[in-house]
Amino acid sequence: MPSDAEIAPAEPARQGRERRAAGRVLHRSSLRVLLRDPMGALGLILVVTFVGMAVFAPWLAPYDPLKLDVMNKFQPPSWAHPAGTDQLGRDLLSRIIYGARTALSIALTSVGLAGIGGLILGMIAGYGPRWLDGILVLIFDSVSSLPMIMLALAVITIIGPGTDTLILVVVTVSIPAYARLIRAQTLGMAQSDFIVAERAMGASGARILIRHLLPNVVGPLVILLSMDVPIVIMLEAGLSYLNLGVRPPTPSWGNILYDGYTSLRSAPHMVLIAGLPLVLSTLGFTFLGEGLRDALDPKLVKGGA
């Protein structure tokens, strides 16, 4: 018959296995919870629609978005041009579709890179030595004190506007926020019984981080990333509207908005057509983020399973 000393270490290990198994059930149930939420499902549909527009832009766009046709400038919506044309005769629908590729490539790339950087640094800060944690937290706090728009304007002044500049600014400002979230999650999980048991059984730090901590801390990060995508989309559109973001003639929703504003009397439809995808994409990612927040809540998942 096993002694109490033999049973005690096995209990946390069993809890760890149950927690990982529950995590797998949670991920399967989360999608059902998301789809049952009307706003979350709507957000998912909108996001998939805009991602599809961005990926399949060359096949969906009826015209070359850069092709000039000044003889047909400021055309209203018609069968030939469903969204009309701009001040240079370029097809607006084609530019809107390619603008989705521009907006999402900047937003997803910058938020994705920042998320990876924040995940790595946050887990190092939360599980590493205290002196390293103190240094990283000091850096996080220093960078977080910089307003994103002010940093963007400063960097643009130094190295000029462009896609790379926007991505650099977003990554620099966003990493500390993500890292602090992951650090807090890691600190809490590191004291769990099954993590302590893994250490006692000789598991390496890398194994604990990758196999046990990573699956449990990535959920809140995904929610925060989805919430930040529309912020980056709006930042890109705003800077492009001011001619400080994506450089013309590259299609950008911000550039199209600016062209529509300057041609408001001649073609008022341009502002509406350019603003609609900007609003819908922002709402889509916001609804999806809120739906993911609810779907990844273990209490709601358990109740909806």
pLDDT, tens digit (0-9, with 9 covering 90-100), for 234-256: 999 988 888 888 888 899 999 99
Question: Is 88 exposed, middle or buried (CB count within 10 Å of its CB: 0-12, 13-18, 19+)?
Answer: middle
What pLDDT band is residue 282 in, cutting at 50, 70 and 90? very high
Q: What is the CATH number of domain 23-304?
A: 1.10.3720.10
The verdict on whether omega for the bond into residue 249 sits within 30 degrees of 0, i.e. cis, is: yes
- Rounded to whole angstroms, how far apart are CA atoms 10 and 222? 32
Instruction: Record the tokens describing residue 64, joined without a space.
Output: 């070359």
Mean of pLDDT values over 158-165 = 85
Per the structure block, which two tokens stand in for 26? Answer: 């949670």
Query: Contact at 8 Å (CB) between 292 and 226?
Result: yes
Q: How many CB atoms lie within 10 A of CB 4?
A: 6
How many angstroms separate the CA atoms of 211 and 38, rounded?
34
Torsion of CA 256, 261, 266, 270, to 10 degrees: 40
Give per-residue pLDDT as tens, 76-120.
888 988 998 888 989 999 999 999 999 999 999 999 999 999 999
Q: Is the pLDDT of residue 46 over 90?
A: yes
How many CB atoms sit inside 10 A of residue 132's CB? 12
Q: For the residues 125-143, what does the mean pLDDT come to? A: 88
pLDDT tens-digit map of 179-238: 999 998 888 877 777 777 777 776 666 777 777 777 778 888 988 999 999 999 999 998
C-alpha of 140 from chain center: 20
- Could you give the CA distance from residue 124 to residue 129 in angstroms, rounded to a whole number? 8
CA-based angle 251:257:262, to the nearest 5?
A: 115
pTM over cut 0.75: yes
